[in-house]
Amino acid sequence: MAASEAVTDALRELHARYAGVRGGRRADYIPQLARSDPDAFGIALVSMDGHCYSAGAADAAFTLQSVSKPFVYALALSTLGLDEVSRWVGAEPSGEAFNAISLEPRTGRPANAMVNAGAIVTTALVPDRAAVPAFTAVLSCLSRFAGRRLDVDEDVYRSEASTGDRNRALAYLLRSTGTLPVDPVAAVDTYFRQCAVRATAVDLAVMAATLAHGGVNPVTGETVVSTEVAAQVLSVMATCGMYDASGEWLLRVGLPAKSGVSGGLIAAGPARFGLATYSTPLDAAGTSVRGSAAIGALSERLGLHLM
Ligand code: DON
């Protein structure tokens, strides 16, 4: 990792350079997300020694949305192992939008755990027990990745729950093909709550850094998942994390990453850093316009591309 001053300078400079960019649109299919501040823009980077660098609105809270998916995939992998999880959800890029109907022709599974269909199945794999309901396990896992107790934005949860018929339709379709192990209504409800968990860009950078650090949170020192699981999750982020823009992203930026429609974006440099941005206007693939520009430029400037 480059020297601290170089990182601080780079974050400040990129923030200044991209804060004025006006392209993109806030997601409005979850009505509450359209109420977000389109000008808020934060960047955070966490190193393997737990040092946090940030610029702009890095402490502004927003909901994780799809940025939650790799971490719940990590929970499912930790609980059930790769072979069992892979019986239910694949690991191939879908080449399609995040909300596409994703059913592999041969196996009937969703293509991967990063698209909505695969994420709903992944969440449904988390054991739902009276003592520890599935969402309690999900929230606890996300909180351990972040190194602090996260909570749910109830307004965003209700907003998605009252409009999320496409995800409900995906869940029923998956159930009809034998690919969803639990009741569709329950699966989608837990998934909506997971998407509405609230965090900041700093939290997201710690979460990404935990994956980059082999599953050990570099701030708290807690082992959240095994090195093996962290590597599995980063692999799927590299190939599928940016949906139908994943190939182009890896080619140009060279980092495993995950986007979310609330404007969050994470990227991880294995054994080097976790990085996150927050800015709500999105491009056509559902990725933050300022976030992808800033992470792309940072990768180039600090030589972060995997090669
Ligand atoms: O399921 C949905 O549509 C949202 N809760 C999450 C989608 C999302 O974040 C897509 N990523 N860019």
pTM of the entire structure? Answer: 0.97
Ligand 1 atom having least distance to the Cα of 196: 5
Distance, CA 260 to ligand 1 centroid (Å)? 6
Proportion of the chain above pLDDT 90, given as a percent? 94
Q: Among residues 195, 222, 244, which one ends one of the domains?
A: 195
Confidence at 108, pLDDT banded by 50, 70, 90: confident
Residue 111 has pLDDT above 90, yes or no: yes
* Position 307 in a domain: no
Q: Are residues 41 and 122 in the same domain?
A: no
**Which of left, alpha, beta for 280 (phi over 0: left; psi -120 to 50: alpha)?**
alpha
Confidence at 105, pLDDT banded by 50, 70, 90: confident
Is the beta carbon of 116 within 6 A of some atom in ligand 1? yes
Is the beta carbon of 88 within 6 A of some atom in ligand 1? no
User: Does 292 carry a binding-site annotation?
Assistant: no
Residue 1 has pLDDT above 90, yes or no: no
Q: Are residues 205 and 56 in the same domain?
A: yes
Confidence at 106, pLDDT banded by 50, 70, 90: confident
Q: Are residues 165 and 277 in the same domain?
A: no
Q: Are residues 210 and 224 in the same domain?
A: yes
Enclosing domain of residue 146: 66-195
Would you state the pLDDT for residue 72? 98
Instruction: Supply the CATH number for residue 216's domain.
Output: 3.40.710.10
* Tens-digit pLDDT profile for residues 113-166: 999 999 999 999 999 999 999 999 999 999 999 999 999 999 999 999 999 999
Q: Are residues 203 and 184 in the same domain?
A: no
Separation CA 188–CA 182 (nearest Å):
10
Lowest-confidence range among 3-12, 65-74, 282-291? 3-12
* Tens-digit pLDDT profile for residues 33-88: 999 999 999 999 999 999 999 999 999 999 999 999 999 999 999 999 999 999 99
Would you state the pLDDT for residue 204? 98
Would you state the pLDDT for residue 2? 56
Q: Which residues are annotated as catalytic?
A: 66, 69, 191, 243, 261
| Closest CA relative to residue 47, chosen from 256, 294, 212 | 212
Residue 217 has pLDDT above 90, yes or no: yes
Q: Among residues 157, 177, 195, which one ends one of the domains?
A: 195
- Mean pLDDT (the chain) is 96
Number of domains in the chain: 2
Q: Among residues 172, 195, 218, which one ends one of the domains?
A: 195
* Tens-digit pLDDT profile for residues 223-255: 999 999 999 999 999 999 999 999 999 999 999
* Tens-digit pLDDT profile for residues 156-208: 999 999 999 999 999 999 999 999 999 999 999 999 999 999 999 999 999 99
